[in-house]
Structure 1
C-alpha cells in the first residue's frame, strides 16, 4: 500500500492547480471548472504518402474545429520516464525443463541490453484535455462524457487509437510529470486514500519545489525550466513538434487553446484590419507631407494587411476558425549543466523554424502548473492563430510496437531506435509472409523467430525446408530432422489421419478427403486436374477406406497407405477412376513410391524439420503438399492445448500449381481457429505475385516481414500493400536485416543489429564468412 512521503512540504501540494480528482477521471479545477483527459496514440504520419498526410492534416483540423467557444482544450506532448524495471521484467524468459536455459538467459540479457541502450525507457505520451464550465459535478460529467465520445469518434476516423483516462490514470500521468527522475513507482489506491483522509495531491506532489527567475528545482535531483515561443515565421514546417520531441530529453510541449466564437472572430479580424488601414492612411499622409510617393508603404504595413485579408477570407470561405493559443515548452534535466545544454538545443531547434525561444522569467511556477495536463492555464503569453496554423503542430510521427510479455523480437524501429516486440497471437490473423532477396537476411530473420518461439513458448514448430537450410538449428535444439528422398529410410504417410481428438469439431474424413483430392489433382496433372466425376469417385473411395479403418480397431500399425487407395480406385472406381489410378500407380509400385509407406519417424517432437531438398521437381511439389497435411494433423492434435507454428520456405512453389495453391489458401483461411500460425517464406517474389491466389494470401496475413526487394518486385508490392514512397525507401537497396514490418495496422521500418558474439547468432547465421569462421 502506498505511503505518503512525510518530507513533502505543504507548498508543493498547493502548487498543483486543482481542487479534486474523481475516480471517473473528472477533475475539478475551480468551483465551476472541470476537465477530462484523453490519451491518444501515434500513427505513421512521417512515412505516409502526400495524399495520406493531407487526409490526416484535414482530419486533425476537423478535431480542432470541433471545439466551440464554450470548451477550452489543451494538447500535451510529453516525453516521460517509464518504469524500466517493469519493462525489464517483461523481457525475462522463464526457464523450462530442457537443456536450453543458458541460451534463454543469454537471449534475455541481449533483449535487456537493447532496451536500455534504446529509448524504450522513455515514452512520448500525447494527451488532449478539455475544460468546461458547469454549475455542478453532475452537469460537468454529462458535458465532458459527450465531448469525450465525439473526440474519440474523430480520432477513430483518422485511424488513431485513444483511451479516456480515469482518475488513477490521470494521477499517474501527473506523478510522472512532477517526479521526472524518481525511481519510486506510482502507488495509489482510492480506498486507502479515503481511509487516510489524504488528498490525491499527496500521492503525486514532488518532495520539494524551489522557483527562481528562469528555472526551478524539483524533487531531490531535478532541475526544470519553462519557455515560450515567439511565432515569427509566416509558415511552419509540419515537423516542428517532432524536432522538439525526437530527442531523449524530458521535454513537454503544451498548447492551451481557447476557441473564438465565429462571429466574434470575424469582428476581431475586421477590427484589426481597420486598425491597420488607419496605419496605412497615416503613413500615406506622412509620405505626402514629406513629398514622397504615398503608394510606397512600409513593408510591415503591407504584410499586416495581406495577412489579415487572407485570414478574413479563410474564415469566411474555408474550414478555418480562430483561436487564442498559449504555447509553452517544459524541460527537465538532472543538472544545471545539462539544463544549459538543453536550453541551447531548444534555441537551435526554435531558430531553425524561424521563431524565438524565451524563458518565462518570474513565471516559472505558473508555467509548470500550466504545463500539467489538467486544462489549467495561468501563462499570460498568447497569440491568435487559425485552425491550419495550429494544426501545423501535427502530433503524429511513427507508431511503436512493444507488446512485452510473450512477444517476439523483430529488431529496432529505424526512426525511434525503440525495440520492436510483437506477439503474433494477438493479431486478428497471425498468418505471415517473410519476403526478401538473397543476402537480405531473410533466413536469419526466420531462424530468429523460430528460436524466439522455441525459447519463450511451448508452441510446436514445423518447418518445410526445400533447401536444407534449417537442419543445423533444428539439430542444435534436439529437434526431429526428417529427410525425404527416394533413397531415404525415413518415411511419412500421406494417408495418416487423426481420429481421436475430441476437440476437433470437423469431420476428419472430410478434411482428409479434401487433401487427397488435391494430391490426386497434383499427381494427375493437366490444366484442369480432376474432373467433377473423378473428384466424386476419389471422395467416395477415401470415405470407404477410412470408414473401414475406423470401424476395425484403428491404430498406427493398421493406418491405410496409398496402395490401399489405389486398390480401392481400381476395385470400386470403375472406368471413371481409371485415369486417376494409372497416374497414382507410379507413386505406389513405380520409381516414385517414396510416399507409399507408413510413417517411420517420430512426429511427436516439439520441433520438426522436413528436408525435401533431394526430391525431384515433381516430387518436391507432392512432398510439400504432404508436409502440409502432416501439419494439419499436428494442428488437429494440438487444438485447444497449444499453438502450432508452420514455416514454409520457397513458398512460391506451392502457389505455382493451382491444386497446391488452393490447399495453401484453405490453410491460410482456416488455420487460426485451429491454433495454427503458418508463415510463407520466399525470395522469388515475382513467382509469388503471379499466383492467382496471392490476393487471398495477402488478405489473410496480418504479419509481413519485408526485407530488401528487387526493383520489379517493389512496384507490385507497393501497389498490393499500399506502401508509400517514404516506406518503400526502407526496402530499396536496404542492408542486411533492414526493411519494413507490417503488424496488423502498424507499419514500421526496422533494422536488426543482432549481437554476433552470442550462441544464438552462431545457431542462426547463414553468412558464409561466419560459417567459415566457425569451421576455422
Structure 2
C-alpha cells in the first residue's frame, strides 16, 4: 500500500513527458462521463439560450429568481462549472451549412444569386463564430457505475430546472465532449477521432488525439531573451487565461453578454462551489463575534481616555458589522447560500501582438462594470485546465458571494436562430447574424405569416418558396394564389400555374380520390365527409340534416364502387356520376339535386369535368383570382381536396409537401371551408405536410376560434408590421414582451419578429434589387417591372 501510494504521488508530481500529460483528466468514457481524477467524475450538458435581454422586466425578474433556485439546488458535494465557448467555425463547414447547392440545371443562377446575398449578409455579423453554452457537474464517488447513477439523476433535475426557464438541456456523449475540448486546445482544426482507434495500441488515450503538438509554459519575448510567465504557447498559438477580480458588490446582469459579443475565440468558465449552510452561518457568526468584541474593546478604551465611546470604533468596522448582520439575516430568512466563485476567461492569438490586442479588448469590455480581469502568472497550466469544461478548478482563486450575487452572472443573453442546412430568413436585428431556419426539424412545422399589406409579406413568402425549390427540389410545393402574385415565380422555376375560373380550359375534378385518401384504410369514409361539406356549400346552409348526410353518404358509396374495383384513371367518377346516383335516392334528395344541377349542367359547371391539368409537377399554383365570389368557397374546397390528394400520395412516396395559402382570411368566411382547413392542418404534420397561412387581416385570425388555435399550434410564425391594436392582441396571445413587440410596431418593410420553436428573434430582410430573384419576387406596383 505504501509503495502504491508513493507511485501515485510520484506520478502526480512528475514532469509531463508529452503534451497530452498536461491535460489533467484520467479518462473520457464513451457515455460522456469523465474521470477527472481518481474518485472524481463529471458530466457535461449543453443548454440553449433564452431571450433575457429582450424580456420584459417582470420576466427578467422571474428568470433571475429561477436561476437563483438553480444555484441553490447544488450542495457542497457537487461542483458546478458553467462554460460559455465562442469559437470560429471552419469556412467550408459554414458554406455547407448556409449555401444552396448547385445541381447543374437552369436553377443554378438563382442559387448563385441567393448564395451571394447570404455571403454579403454574413460579413455584416459574426456568422463565422459559434457561441455555445455548457454546464459541467462533478462529484466524488467510489467507482464509475455509482457516479453514473448520481450524475444522471442530477442531470434530470437540472433539465427540469432549465425547462422552467425556457431552455432545453442535452447531455453530451464522449465524442462530443472531446470535440468541445479539442476546439479549445487545437482551435481552427477539425477533430478526427473514433473510440475504435484506442484498440490499436494500449498506450493511446483520448488525450493524445485532442492535445496540441506541444506546450511551452514560458514562451520567449518577441523582442528580447526574457520569457513570459502570464501566458503559454500551444502548437502555433499563444494563449492566456485571466481571472475576474475586484468584483463590485452591485453589478449589472450583462457582463457575460458583453463578453460573449467579442468577435474572436474565447472561453469563459464560472466555477461555483456551495458552502455548507450550517458552516456558513457559523463562519459569519464567528466573524461577527470577533467584530463585536473589537467594537466593545474600542469603546471601553475610549471611555478610559475620557473620550466619547463612539470614537473608539473604526468607521470601517461599523460598516463591516452592518454587512455581516445583513449577511446573517439573508442566510436565515431569505433562502440565500454562500458560494465560492471563480470566473476565468481564455483567449489566444497567432502571435503575442494579436494575443495582447484581444486581452486588451477583454479588459476594456469589463471596465464599465467596475471590475477587471487580472493575469495569472506562473499558474497558466492549472488555469488552462480550469478553463476546460472538465468540472474541476485547479486554482486557489475564488470569491465568496451570496446566491443573489452569484446569479447576477446569468448565462442567458439573446437567442440566435441558426439551423444548419435551413433557409435564409434575413439577419438578426440585434446581432446582425444570419437567420437560418429548417422547418422540417421543428416539432410543429406549420406556420403563419402575418403583416399589414405593403410591408413585405408576399416577398418573404416567395423568398421562402424559392429557397425550398432550390434547397429541396424533390419536395412538392402547392400554392393557393387568390391574387395572382406567385405565377411569375412558379413559371420561372418550371412549375405549373392552374387558372381556376368559369372561362378557363383547365379543370380539376372534386371527385378525384386515391387508395391512400383516408386515415384508416377506407378512403370513402373521408371522401364522404368532403362531399357533405361540398353539398353544404351548394345549399348555402349551416349544416346538413341527418337525412341529407345519409343520402350523400349512400350516393358516395355507389359512385366509387366501380373505381374501387378497378382503380384506374379512366374509371375516376365525376360530379355527373355523383349527381346521377344522388338522384336515384328518391324524392328526399330532390333539394340536394336541385341545388347541384347548376354546378353539373348549368352555368357553373367548371368542376363537373375530369381533371385535365398536370398535377404531377413538383410545383403547382392554383390561381383563383378570376373565380367569382359565388364560386369562391366551392373553389377553395375543391382545391383543398386536391391538396389532400397530393399529401396522401406523397406520404406513400416519402416526399414532403409544402402548402402555402395566401389570403387566408377568405377561408375563414365560410365555416365549412374553415373546418376542412382546420382538419387538414391537424393531419398535416404526421402525413409529412407543412402548411403556411398568409394574411394581412390579422383581426380575422384573432376573432376566429379555429384560426386562433391554428396560430397557437404553429411552430413557425413570422410577424411583420402590425397595427397597434393587433400588435397588443398578438403579444398577449403569443406571450411576446414589450421589448420584442416594438419590432412589429412601426417596423420597416421586410422587418419584424420571427418565432420558431419558441425562439423569438427580431429580423431585418433587405434583398438586393439588382438580382433576377428580386424581380421575380417583387410585388410593389409602383416599381417598374
TM-score by length of 2: 0.90
Match of 2:280 among 239, 254, 265: 265
Give 2:67's aligned residue.
60
- Give the deviation of 1:177 after TM superposition: 1.1
In 2, the alpha carbon distance for the partners of 1:658 and 1:762 equals 37
Count of matched residue positions in the alignment of Structure 1 and Structure 2: 757
| Distance verdict in 2 for CA 1:241–1:284, change over 3 Å | farther
- CA 1:620–1:298: 2 relative to 1, 3 Å: farther
Does 1:364 find its partner at 2:371? no
Is the aligned partner of 1:477 residue 2:483? Answer: no
Q: For residues 152 and 618 of structure 1, do their structure 2 counterparts lie closer, same or farther at Cα, with a shift above 3 Å needed?
A: same
* Aligned counterpart, 1:521: 536
User: Take 2:147 and 2:509, find their aligned partners in 1: how far apart are those partners?
Assistant: 70
C-alpha displacement of 1:760: 2.5
**Among 713, 726, 746, the residue aligned to 2:739:** 726
How many Å apart are 1:172 and its aligned residue?
A: 1.8
Counterpart-to-counterpart distance in 1, 2:18 and 2:74: 35
Q: Distance in 1 between matches of 2:145 and 2:715?
A: 44
Q: Distance in 2 between matches of 1:284 and 1:327?
A: 41
1:594-618, CA deviations, whole angstroms, 9 ceiling, x for partnerless residues? 3232222222221111111112222
Residues 57 and 561 of structure 1: is their aligned pair in 2 closer, same or farther, counting only changes over 3 Å?
same
- What secondary structure sits across from 2:263 in the alignment? coil
Local SS of the residue matching 2:329: helix
> Map of 1:367-516 to 2, 5 A cutoff?
367-405=383-421, 407-457=422-472, 458-499=474-515, 501=516, 505-516=520-531
**1:602 to 1:532, Cα distance in 2 relative to 1, 3 A:** same
Q: Is the 8 A contact 1:494 1:561 kept in 2?
A: yes
Other-structure match for 1:191? 196
Distance 2:91 2:432 in 1: 16
Query: Equivalences for 1:610-621 in 2 at 5 Å?
Result: 610-621=622-633
What is the CA distance between 1:214 and its match in structure 2? Answer: 6.0
Identify the residue that residue 106 of structure 2 maps to in structure 1.
99
Task: Give a deviation string over 1:55-101, Cα, whole Å, max 9, x none.
Answer: 33233222222222222222222212333423322345455575323
Matches for 1:32-71 after TM superposition, within 5 Å: 32-71=39-78
Residue equivalent to 2:730: 717
How far has the Cα of 1:477 moved from its partner? 1.2
Residues 721 and 746, structure 2, Cα contact 8 Å, conserved in 1: yes
Q: Report deviation, 1:734.
A: 1.6
Contact in 2 for aligned 1:541/1:573 (Cα 8 Å): no
- Pick closer, same or farther for the CA change 1:503–1:628 going to 2, 3 Å: closer
Cα distance in 2 between the residues matched to 1:687 and 1:321? 52
Partners of 1:294 and 1:632 in 2: CA distance: 88
Q: Does 1:537 align with 2:551?
A: yes
For 2:772, the equivalent position in structure 1 comes to 759
Give the Cα separation in 1 of the matches to 2:143 and 2:681.
56
Pick the aligned partner of 1:164 from 140, 165, 171. 171
Contact 1:209 1:216 in 2 (8 A): no
* Distance in 1 between residues matched to 2:581 and 2:524, nearest whole Å: 16
CA drift at 1:668:
0.7
Change (3 A) 1:333 1:520: same
SS of match in other structure, 2:611: coil
Checking the alignment, whether the CA contact within 8 Å between 1:17 and 1:376 is kept in structure 2 is no
Contact 2:509 2:574 in 1 (8 A): yes
CA distance in 1, matches of 2:141, 2:513: 70
1:705 pairs with 2:718: yes
**Using the alignment, how far apart are the partners of 1:616 and 1:413 within structure 2?**
42
| Structure 1: runs of 5 or more not aligned | 1-8
- In 1, the alpha carbon distance for the partners of 2:184 and 2:471 equals 35
Cα distance, 1:550–1:361 mapped onto 2, change above 3 Å: closer
8 A Cα contact 2:475 2:656, kept in partner: yes
In structure 2, the gaps of 5 or more residues are 1-15, 219-226
Deviation per residue, 1:153-210 (Å, 9 max, x gap): 4334434322333333222222111223x3x311222232342322332222223434
Retained in 2: the 8 A contact 1:21–1:200?
yes
Aligned to 2:683: 670
Partner residue, 2:28:
21
2-structure distance, mates of 1:24, 1:564: 64
Cα separation, 1, equivalents of 2:434 and 2:139? 40
For 1:675 and 1:166, the matched residues in 2 are separated by 30
Residue 435 of structure 2: SS of its match in structure 1?
strand
Are 1:88 and 2:103 an aligned pair? Answer: no
Alpha-carbon separation, structure 2, partners of 1:97 and 1:259: 61
Matched, 1:317 2:333: yes
CA contact (8 A) 2:518 2:525 kept: no
1:645 aligned residue: 658
Partner of 1:276: 291
CA change 1:410–1:489 in 2 (3 A) is: same
Q: 2:85 aligns with which of 61, 72, 78?
A: 78
1:739 paired with 2:752, answer yes
Task: Give 1:696 shift.
Answer: 3.1
Q: How far 1:750 sits from its partner (Å)?
A: 2.2
Write the distance in 2 (CA, Å) between the matches of 1:140 and 1:671.
Answer: 44
Deviation of 1:138 after TM superposition, in Å, equals 4.7
Structure 1 residues 83 and 517: CA distance shift in structure 2, 3 A: same
- How far does residue 268 in structure 1 lie from its aligned partner after superposition? 1.1
SS of residue paired to 1:47: coil
Contact (CA 8 Å) 1:12, 1:209: kept in 2 or not?
no
Could you tell me how far apart the structure 2 residues matched to 1:105 and 1:666 are? 39
Q: Secondary structure at the match of 1:85?
A: helix
8 Å CA contact retained: 2:562, 2:571 = no
More displaced stretch, 638-647 vs 648-657: 638-647
CA distance in 2, matches of 1:134, 1:628: 62
Structure 1 residues 123 and 303 mapped into 2: Cα distance closer, same or farther (>3 Å)?
farther
Instruction: Say which SS state the counterpart of residue 763 (structure 2) adopts.
Output: strand
Deviation at 1:469, TM superposition (A): 0.3
Alpha carbons 1:206, 1:218 under 8 Å: kept: no
Match 2:560 to one of 546, 549, 566: 546
Provide the rounded CA distance (Å) in 2 between the counterparts of 1:16 and 1:109: 43
Greater mean alpha carbon deviation, residues 588-597 or residues 649-658: 588-597
Give distance in 1, aligned partners of 2:307 and 2:228: 50
Q: Aligned pair in 2 of structure 1 residues 716, 200: CA closer, same or farther (>3 Å)? A: same
Q: CA deviation at 1:393?
A: 0.8
Alignment of 1:96-245 (within 5 A): 96=103, 98-111=105-118, 114-115=121-122, 118-180=125-187, 182=188, 184-196=189-201, 197-207=203-213, 208-211=215-218, 213=228, 215-245=230-260
Q: Write the deviation string for residues 620-645 of structure 1: whole angstroms up to 9, x where unpaired.
A: 22222211111111112222211221
Contact 2:517 2:526 in 1 (8 A): no
Deviation at 1:492, TM superposition (A): 1.8
**CA spacing shift, 1:284–1:337, aligned 2, 3 Å:** farther
